[in-house]
Amino acid sequence: MDDLRQVTQILLNQVSHWTQARWGNRGEALHQALQRIAGPEHTLPRLSDLVLPDQLRVVVSDLLESNAGPAEVSRAVEELTEIRGALRASQ
């Protein structure tokens, strides 16, 4: 759980200050990653890129509150680590 909190905070630090112009076409990739973490039973609305950091907070908070198992938390950590790297590479 600490790994999930840590990677979430790192990703938030990376993108929470981005403007719409800086997001460019990268928002869809983060939205898709968040949808995979949320799962098919929780459809995540595709809002403005500027609210993606808030959606990240909510999705991770929901996952932590759901008492998710270690495998599900590990998948979320991997997903966020991967998208963080992809967003950094495209800067």
DSSP codes of every residue in 31-63: HHHHHHHH-TTSPPP---GGGHHHHHHHHHHHH
Q: What are the strands, taking DSSP E only, across 11-79?
A: none
* 81 is a domain residue: yes
Structural domain boundaries enclosing 44? 2-8+24-89
Task: Report the pLDDT value the prediction gives residue 60, as an integer from 0 to 100.
Answer: 97
Give the C-alpha distances (Å, rounded to integers) separating 69 from 72, 76, 79. Answer: 5, 11, 16
* Confidence band for 91, pLDDT divided at 50, 70 and 90: low
* 17 is a domain residue: no
Task: Report the pLDDT value the prediction gives residue 12, as an integer from 0 to 100.
Answer: 98
- Residue 26 near residue 90 (C-beta atoms within 8 A): yes
* 19 is a domain residue: no
